[in-house]
Structure 1
Amino acid sequence: MKLEKIGGNDFEKLILHAAKMLNLEKKAVDALNVFPVPDGDTGTNLYMTLLAAVEETIKTDATSLGAKVEAAARGSLMGARGNSGVILSQLFRGFARALAGLEAATPRDLALALEEAAKTAYKAVLRPVEGTMLTVARETAKMARHNTLDEDVISFSRTVLAYAEEVLQQTTNMLPALREAGVVDAGGAGLVVAARGAVEALTNWPELDEISPDDLLQEDRNGTVSAPIKGIVRQAIEFRYCTEFLLIGEGLNTEEIRASLMEYGDSLLVVGDNSTVKVHIHSNHPGLVLEECLKRGALTKVQINNMDEQNRQAANTPIKPLGVVAVVSGDGLTDIFTSLGVDLVIEG
């Protein structure tokens, strides 16, 4: 089977299956989370962000690829969770910008969109760090640009995914925290897991099952052994509170907002447009952050998490010396083995 282009309805199926795969693997991705703060929520944050993108994509009446991806970008911004979720929203933003106005996309179009996605995400981060999901996105996009002669979306996507998995493995040696823990970057892993779900959907296109966001909410199994990894230890956290919210107003300027918040912490991300801005920051004074932004508009979806407490819980969770893996066929057997406490259930 050869697929020369993908359209809006195709994209809707792909993003649904990407979310399904990430849902299955999110706890395993959570367990990889050691950078920038080992708070054990990267997989969950990425999944919730992707689910918001899925829901917005399905809601739109437009059928073109450009319109569907724009809806995904809008949904991911509104529903972005955590540092990784905001970065994912910016990957969608760049992807949408490159595909704007297109009914369907060829492999070359997709390669250009991946490149724009990586550029947009890098621009959103105040101090980009290599060895993270940013690196995975950028290096994969570079490779994709060298494979634009491939006229089959399926083979192109397989090649790009295989390279993304290679880059992900390299992240272990790019960051001291990852090297010490012996893991790959959690954000990069989540990105690759979602991509794998989309590519597997392409590969099985004729037999693709129909799924909906409701199915994603109901399905919450461990895709891999989710016991804490060796290397997660109790750490001193300089900025304790992960603070994020949406700022709604008129004439909002992301550069001005970013400059006004830099003194309050790190991991600062300020993205959006002149009416809706997503803010994410790690700070010891979340109240001051909120007060500063209240000068510019109204706040919604405010969330403040104590990362020191999250780190304490992750560090105190015992590591399992042994995991049990079961290969089963069908949802019924999967549910039975999961209820019995099996760590990894593989459907096959």
Structure 2
Amino acid sequence: MPQTLDAASVRIWCSRALEALGREREEIDAINVYPVADGDTGTNLYLTLESAAQAVEAVFAAHETGSSAPAAADAVRSMAHGALIGARGNSGTILAQLLRGMAERLCDGDHLAGALRRASALAREAVAHPVEGTILSVASAAAEAAESAPDDAARAAYEGARAALEATPGQLDVLSRAGVVDAGGRGLLAVLGALVEAVSGEAPVPPPLAHVRPGPEGLGAPAQPCADDGGPAFEVIYLLEAEDEAVARLRTRLDSLGDSLVVVGGDGLWNVHVHVDDAGAAVEAGVEAGRPYRIRITHFDLAAAPVREQVQRAVVVVVSGEGLAGLCAEAGATTVLARPGEPPVSGELVDAIRRAHAREVVLMPNSADLRHTAAAAAEQARTEGVRVALVPTRAAVQGIAALAVHEPDRRFDEDVVAMTAAAGATRYAEVTVAERQSWTTAGVCQEGDVLGLIDGDVAVIGTDLMTTATTVLDRMLAAGGELVTLVLGEGVADGDEVAAKLERHVRDTHLAVDTVLYRGGRGSTPLLIGVE
């Protein structure tokens, strides 16, 4: 019987693939010479899979309190979407499209061999100028092998991919000269090996990791291309909300600007990757097509970039809302902007720690849901020689309180203790709008109800923001307080009037309590409240 996948198998696949790429990331980075020898293919594939795995875990988490289990279609669709929004680099973007192709067919009830064939075809369509000897060749070979043995499609795909990977140096001169196989193809083989384990319970024996010609540093030293190919200076990646017709025009425009163009996605959301000399023009083309965000621009010639002097200490903070990001940046923090429904993955936090370019870093996730992600990022940064302390802030107002007492000139441990104490002494609340009917700790809420959450639990269910907010404030201040912090979101109707009324309510009802108001900006929750 032809193989297929259920939800549990998708979950196992994601988990095993992430583990495999974690083990092989550095080796894959070391053999990365095409299309650019920037040594990050393994890292990019890992970050792409990490985002996919988090999306799948979120689907399973939604079923933990009930008796139902997620459908296979929901799991595989989430895997593809997570990979799309978290895709990094050329190979990561192609991997996201491969997963999207598989999701299309698996959601329609197709078997695994058919899904792999669709994945290969869709990935080739996404690349402006497909080149043999790359991840595309490995994916095609995997699909062909799977179709020849549909009853054992996963293992057949793995063996076909393995043979194709070994052949890549004979297909691409730059690989032959460097003495390596294709890095993206090597990563895909790891992902397919995890697929075999997910459907059969037996992991295939991977090929030897020694795919690098011995160099002055010994086996495993990063491969170097034989000559500078004079390619574009920048890699530009962004997510894009746009219609199909606009994306078709965007492809033509970006293809004229540079190379290594890959545009993946659909249904209004796309991930765009291109190598160009004019990064601004590539971003402007995205603006013309729709709304680009999560824009990431990397200069390939790091040696030519000015060297930034390393500072002693920095703060990295996750925030929701552009206004909060600006506020924290003014306070000297490096910010990671979290969009609604799209929490940052650990790789993004590691990138932010690197951008801070400090010997010591205080990391604040500002969300209970991000604590484990932040802990993983901190551990990774420590392996790179950075001293990282995690202050487990659960809300942006706690992060603001911690930043207010941050003193980079004091001893690191003392600074961390002071910031942790300030955050812990700040009770936090959120006033938001219910998106659906659900059970809460305060009773049943209906879609459109205004919810007041205190320290993460629903405490008030109301019909309007002002009444709910004043009730929340009174409950929080009943236990005392000296300072109220209000963070007002951009979408609040009559925001100035609401802010004035709330400040007046605190002043008139709770004597000797000061109030400070900040604007959360676009993407922020309607109202955040902190009481110190």
**What TM bracket, shorter-length normalisation?**
0.7 to 0.9
Greater shift after overlay, 62-71 or 280-289?
Answer: 62-71
For the pair 1:270 / 2:270, whether they are aligned, the reply is no
Among 142, 145, 151, the residue aligned to 1:140: 142
Task: Report the Cα distance in structure 1 between the residues aligned to 2:138 and 2:88, rounded to whole angstroms.
Answer: 19
Aligned partner of residue 118 in structure 2, secondary structure: helix
Greater shift after overlay, 157-166 or 118-127?
Answer: 157-166
Among 290, 302, 308, the residue aligned to 1:309: 302
How many angstroms does 1:23 deviate by?
Answer: 0.9
State the match for 1:243 in structure 2: 236
Aligned partner of residue 34 in structure 1, secondary structure: coil
For the pair 1:181 / 2:174, whether they are aligned, the reply is no
1:48 alignment partner AA: L
Aligned partner of residue 168 in structure 1, secondary structure: helix
Aligned pairs for 1:1-40 within 5 A: 6-40=5-39
Equivalences, count: 286
How many angstroms does 1:95 deviate by?
Answer: 0.3
State the match for 1:78 in structure 2: 85
Task: Report the Cα distance in structure 2 between the residues aligned to 1:95 and 1:51, rounded to whole angstroms.
Answer: 18
How many angstroms does 1:3 deviate by?
Answer: 11
**Identity level (%):** 35
1:253 touches 1:273 (CA, 8 Å); kept in 2?
no
State the match for 1:49 in structure 2: 48
> How large is the Cα RMSD of the aligned pairs?
2.7
Aligned pairs for 1:106-145 within 5 A: 109-145=111-147
How many angstroms does 1:79 deviate by?
Answer: 0.6
1:242 touches 1:282 (CA, 8 Å); kept in 2?
yes
For the pair 1:172 / 2:169, whether they are aligned, the reply is yes
State the match for 2:376 in structure 1: none
How many angstroms does 1:235 deviate by?
Answer: 1.8
Greater shift after overlay, 286-295 or 121-130?
Answer: 286-295
How many angstroms does 1:259 deviate by?
Answer: 1.4
State the match for 2:188 in structure 1: 191
Larger Rg: 2
1:249 touches 1:276 (CA, 8 Å); kept in 2?
yes
How many angstroms does 1:201 deviate by?
Answer: 4.6
Task: Report the Cα distance in structure 2 between the residues aligned to 1:292 and 1:231, rounded to whole angstroms.
Answer: 33
More strand by share: 2
Aligned partner of residue 37 in structure 1, secondary structure: coil
How many angstroms does 1:160 deviate by?
Answer: 2.6
State the match for 2:292 in structure 1: 299
How many angstroms does 1:202 deviate by?
Answer: 4.4
1:33 alignment partner AA: N
Task: Report the Cα distance in structure 2 between the residues aligned to 1:100 and 1:184, rounded to whole angstroms.
Answer: 33
TM-score (norm 2): 0.50
TM-score (norm 1): 0.75
Q: Deviations over 1:156-189 (max 9, x none)?
A: 4233312211111011111000111111100000
Task: Report the Cα distance in structure 1 between the residues aligned to 2:89 and 2:49, rounded to whole angstroms.
Answer: 12
1:170 alignment partner AA: A
Greater shift after overlay, 131-140 or 93-102?
Answer: 93-102
1:142 alignment partner AA: E
1:47 alignment partner AA: Y
1:39 touches 1:310 (CA, 8 Å); kept in 2?
no
How many angstroms does 1:139 deviate by?
Answer: 1.2
- Given the superposition, is the C-alpha separation of residues 123 and 230 from structure 1 closer, same or farther in structure 2, using an over 3 Å criterion? closer
Runs of 4+ in 1 over 4 A off after TM superposition: 2-5, 223-226, 249-252
Consecutive unaligned residues in structure 2, runs of 5 or more: 63-68, 204-208, 213-218, 306-382, 384-532
